[in-house]
A and B are shown apart, each in its own frame.
Chain A
């Protein structure tokens, strides 16, 4: 599983830039970024190379931040690649809270990042189906 940072942002674009520059100034590399947006607020979700350090830096700078365990799965870049993953998930009763795609800088592979209600059940399903999930180190994440 991979540690993901979630930051509460009110819908002010300045705050997004501010959080990123705080991380840059601390030498933290952002590997993936997505924002969940509503008319009233947003949640900025980040995968960074050093989640513990990033969390501490953000807290110090007054951001409301939380870490969450997410599961990153490689998805074959071909027709039906994603469906072949979602179908067994549905069958196994693994509920998806949200998901987003991640393209690794150097690899040809595409990945999907999943936040599910039950990580253990998800991992067990992947194993049973002979599907891989990605370890943090493979993404250059500590």
Chain B
């Protein structure tokens, strides 16, 4: 079994990587300046020319791109090649405002597939594996991204897409799928349905899963691994940059290696824009070094994380980023305290609940309230009022010590919260309705 898909890149020296990055960055800035009038104007305003990029650190001179820039240039204003050179469009879900449309040249699709192939290989995928893709196929990048990676490796791809979970379970069982690709919340749902149908992990042949497209915690990973009998790997990406495969986890499971020959990563202070460098928490910013159709420079992801070059036991030298610790825009401010939904999930999973929960934030008499609703499980249910009240009290205390604020806890009957087949909707902020 090959350990790396492209060892010459994945284990290259830092010096070699930096050299590749600088050459590609210089070329990319020229390409964007020449072909994207919108960004050229931004550069002119900032007083920076392509020739000013003499070393990697000069990237700090370039202006940022925000989601708003992509909305303002919707649909094709950020494209750097004519449409005749574009072979595919993807779009990010427009949950808040206009969706973002991203184009790919044939070469871009190839780069993307290569990145996903590295991720799948790191999860143990070879040309003998059967890859079950339950990410949605379509404008969403999940399905076709994982599909492209599996194709590169030469594995069998089962393009199930999302939905009809009982059928998914039967296919997993009957086709002998060995690797599962989907969102982590859907992986848990598949596990739930598998057990409801009277099967266990011994009835399926999965050995690994590559899960992404939404934040998930380490406790959720342990749950998925236990229920499905697999090793669960994280994969990171966003449509604006390319899709899944921007960064991926190795067997060490302590962070995701960034495919930095294609994507240059920076961590910045979200308030000042100042570059923070390694081992300091801040907002993750990506620059596409090789993508030609939709080459974003310094795109603000709004994901909060840390990057590090600490040596990894897998042998890869690619820089690692932590699982995003939250999003600058997911962050809830409750009574002046910053709260990330991922913190709440950590507490829930630690105490044995499943990741079926909802956070309801409201404002009553000018006072912010937060309620965590979670489904009771068979294991936590006990026949006495005292027993259940004790569970609720433990949860309230766990949340209090994690968040530093009091949250109301509501224990729900099973199957009362909606299940998602894609990204789960966890937060209902009613304060926005009153404003």
Contacts and interface: CB of A to CB of B under 8 A. Distances in A.
Interface of A: 4, 6, 8-10, 15, 36, 38, 40-41, 43, 45, 62-64, 66, 68, 97-98, 115
A8 B414 CA distance: 9
B337 interface: no
Given A63-B414, A97-B383, 19 more contacts: A8-B376, A8-B411, A8-B413, A10-B410, A10-B411, A10-B413, A36-B385, A38-B389, A40-B410, A40-B411, A41-B388, A43-B383, A62-B414, A64-B377, A64-B381, A66-B381, A68-B383, A98-B385, A115-B383
Given A8-B376, A38-B389, A40-B392, A64 B384 contact: no
B415 interface: yes
Nearest to B375: A64
B314 interface: no
B384 A97 contact: yes
Given A41-B411, A43-B388, A10 B416 contact: yes
Contact of B413 (A9, A38, A45, A98): A9
Nearest to A62: B415
Contacts of B415: 62
Contacts of B385: 36, 38, 43, 98
Interface in B50-91: none
A70 B31 CA distance: 78
B412 A10 contact: yes
Contacts of B434: none
B432 interface: no
Nearest to B410: A40
12 contacts: A8-B388, A10-B412, A10-B413, A15-B413, A38-B389, A62-B413, A62-B414, A62-B415, A64-B378, A64-B381, A66-B378, A66-B383
A12 to B, nearest CB: 8
A41 B386 CA distance: 12
B371 to A, nearest CB: 11
Contact of A97 (B386, B392, B410): B386
A45 B383 CA distance: 9
Interface residues of B, number: 19
A6 B383 contact: yes
Interface in B355-396: 376-378, 381-386, 388-389, 392
Interface in B398-425: 410-416
Contacts of A38: 385, 389
A8 B413 CA distance: 7
Contacts of A64: 376-378, 381, 413-414
Contacts of B412: 10
A109 B84 CA distance: 89
Closest 3 CB pairs of A and B: A6-B383, A68-B383, A62-B415
A36 B388 CA distance: 12
Contacts of B382: 66
A19 B381 CA distance: 17
A44 to B, nearest CB: 11
A68 B385 CA distance: 14
Contacts of B377: 64
Nearest to B415: A62
A4 B386 CA distance: 18
A76 to B, nearest CB: 28
A107 B383 CA distance: 28
Q: Which of A4, A45, A64 neighbours the largest number of chain B CB atoms within 10 Å of its CB?
A: A64
B77 to A, nearest CB: 49
A62 B415 CA distance: 7
A115 B388 CA distance: 16
Contacts of B413: 8-10, 15, 62-64
A75 B332 CA distance: 57
Nearest to B377: A64
Contacts of B410: 10, 40
A115 B389 contact: no
Contacts of B416: 10
B381 A115 contact: no
A63 B411 CA distance: 14
A15 to B, nearest CB: 7
B415 to A, nearest CB: 5
A79 B416 CA distance: 47
A10 B414 CA distance: 10
A33 to B, nearest CB: 15
Nearest to A38: B385
B372 to A, nearest CB: 13
Contacts of A8: 376, 381, 388, 411, 413
Contacts of A66: 378, 381-383
B374 to A, nearest CB: 12
